[in-house]
Chains A and B, each alone.
Chain A
C-alpha cells in the first residue's frame, strides 16, 4: 500500500466493523461510508435538538387548540369571572388564579428568607466537614416527590394545624380589625394557608441550593478584602456577597416561584378545592393545578373540559414568563462571573 499514512483512519475507525468490511472493500468506499455515517449522525443530533423546540411548540398548540371552545365562548371574561359552575356551564378562572398566586406568595414569603439564611449558613458559618452532609440532605429534600409532601400535609400537618395552631391564632387575632378577617372562620386544617406552608417546604430546597451555588461563585478575594477591613460576617454578606449576586438570587427565587405556581399534588391534597375567593387564609380555596387534577377526568361536556385546558394554558403562560425571567437573570449573573 502506498499511502501508509492514511492507514490509521481505517484501522481506528473501524475497530468494530473491520470483519464485515474486510480486505475486498475499497478504501475509498470505506471513507465514503464513514462520511455518510458522519453526516447522518450529525443530522440525527440536530433533529433531536430541534425536537426540544417542537415539544414546547406542541404544548402551546395543543393547549390553545384544546382551550379554544372555552376562550371563544367566554372571551376575556374567562379571566375575571369568579363563578365555576358545571351545572349551568359557567366557568371563570378568577378563583383558581387567585388561589395559585396567593399560595405561591405565602410559600415565597416563608421560603425566601429561610432559604437565603440557610445558604448563608452553608457558605459562611458551617464547618467544612458539615457542609456536604447538610447540602446533600437539602438536595434530598428537593428530590422527594411532591405526592409525599401532599400525603404528609393531609395526614400530619393539616390535623396539627387544625387542633393546635389555628384555634390559637383565631383567638389571638379575633378582635383586631384586618387580621380577624385574614384569619377568620372555623379551623378546617386544610385551606390556603396550609397549602402555602406545604409549598414553602417544597420550594425551600430549590431556593437554598441555587443561592448556595450563587454565593459560592463570589470571588474569594472580594470577601477576604471585606473581612480584612474588619467587616462582620453579616456585613460581608450584606454589602459584598448580596450586591454581587443579586441577579442570581432573584433568578433562583423566581425559579422557586415557577415551581410553586405549577405544583400540583402537594397542593391538591390540602387546599380544600372550593371555587371561591375568601378573605380568610384558613378557608379552603383552589389553585389552577388542583382544579385540573381534581376535575379533569370527571369533566362532562366539551365546554367544561375546554375550560380546564384553558386554565392549564393560563398556568403555562404564567410559569413560562416567570421561568424565562429567572433563566435570563441567572444567565446574566453567569456572564458576569465569567463561567
Chain B
C-alpha cells in the first residue's frame, strides 16, 4: 500500500508540475501581448501611417519604415518564392528518392534555422562590400535567402501529400510530366503552398538582424533601392535603444504593428492549411 501511495503521489506531483509549466508558458504570452497592446495602442494614430520618422523631440510617424519593409518584403517574396517552389517541386516530383533530394532536404532544414545575422553577413560580403554601399536591394536579397528554405520545405511537404493516383491519371491520358505538375499537382497543393508563402512573409517581416548591415536605415522618405532603406524592425531597434521617450513610444507602436501583422498572417495561413486538409 505504501508503494501504491508513493506512485500515486509521484504522479500527482509530476502532473501538477506539468500543469504549472503550461500556465507559466501561457502567462508569458499574455504578459508580452498585454504589455505590447497597452504600450502600442496608446501611440497608435493616423499620423503613424502618414508621417515620416521624426527627429528626437518632435512628433512623427512610421510611414517610411513601413513602406521600406513592405517593398523589401515584396521583393524578397518575389525572388524567393519561385526559387523555393521550383526546388520543392524537384524534391517532391522528380527526385523523390534520389541522393540530391536527401542532401538538399538536410541542408535546407539547416538553413531554415540558421542564425539570420549570419545571412546578413553573407549578403554584406557578396553585395554591400562589392557595390561599396548599403542598399535596399541587398536587404531584399538577404530576406529572400530567408524566404527560400521556408517555401522549399512547405512546397515539398504539400506536393508529397498529393495522391499519386492523380499523377497516374494525368500520365495515363498522356499529359507530359511538367504539365501534370503545373496543372494538376500545383492545383491540388495550392492551399498548402500559399500557406508556406504566407508563413515566409510572416517570418521575414519581423527579421531585423539581416537588415542591420544590408539595407541599413534611412531617416527620410526614399524609395530608391540603391540607397539605404528604412525598415520597421530596424527603426524599432534604433528607437527603442534611444534615450528619447517619444522615440521609444514609436518603437512600441511599430512593435505592435509588426506583431499584429505577423499574427494575422499566421492565423490566415493556419486556416488556409486547415481548409486544404479538410477538402
Q: A121-B19, A147-B237, A232-B7 are in contact. Are A52 and B115 (CB under 8 A)?
A: no
Chain B at the A interface: SS class? helix
Question: A interface, how many residues as a size bin?
Answer: 35 or more
A240 within 8 A of B: no
Pair A8/B209 contact, Cβ less than 8 Å? no
Pair B173/A9 contact, Cβ less than 8 Å? yes
Chain A at the B interface: SS class? helix
Q: A143-B266, A293-B209, A320-B110 are in contact. Are A117 and B32 (CB under 8 A)?
A: no
Pair A147/B233 contact, Cβ less than 8 Å? yes
Pair B263/A140 contact, Cβ less than 8 Å? yes
Q: A48-B90, A262-B117 are in contact. Are A34 and B176 (CB under 8 A)?
A: yes
Interface flags for B83-105 (1: CB within 8 Å of A; 0: not) read 11011011101110000110110
Measured between beta carbons, the chain A residues less than 8 angstroms from B206 are 144-148
Task: Report the stretch among B10-18, B43-51, B189-197 that lies at the interface.
Answer: B10-18
B220 within 8 A of A: no
Q: A148-B255, A255-B113, A292-B121 are in contact. Are A48 and B174 (CB under 8 A)?
A: no
Measured between beta carbons, the chain A residues less than 8 angstroms from B262 are 143-145
Pair B104/A66 contact, Cβ less than 8 Å? no
Pair A323/B25 contact, Cβ less than 8 Å? no
Q: A9-B173, A121-B19 are in contact. Are A137 and B87 (CB under 8 A)?
A: no
A62 CB contact (under 8 Å) in B26, B122, B241: B122
Measured between beta carbons, the chain A residues less than 8 angstroms from B7 are 232, 235
Q: How far is the CA of A186 from the CA of B8 in the complex (A)?
A: 45
Pair A147/B213 contact, Cβ less than 8 Å? no
Q: How far is the CA of A56 from the CA of B193 in the complex (A)?
A: 23
B108 to chain A, nearest CB (A): 5
Contact residues, A44-79 vs B (CB, 8 A):
44-53, 55-56, 58-59, 62-63, 65-66
A313 to chain B, nearest CB (A): 8
B272 within 8 A of A: no
B145 within 8 A of A: yes
Pair B111/A201 contact, Cβ less than 8 Å? no
Measured between beta carbons, the chain B residues less than 8 angstroms from A151 are 236, 240, 251-252, 255
B21 within 8 A of A: yes
Contact residues, A126-176 vs B (CB, 8 A):
126, 134, 136-141, 143-152, 154-156
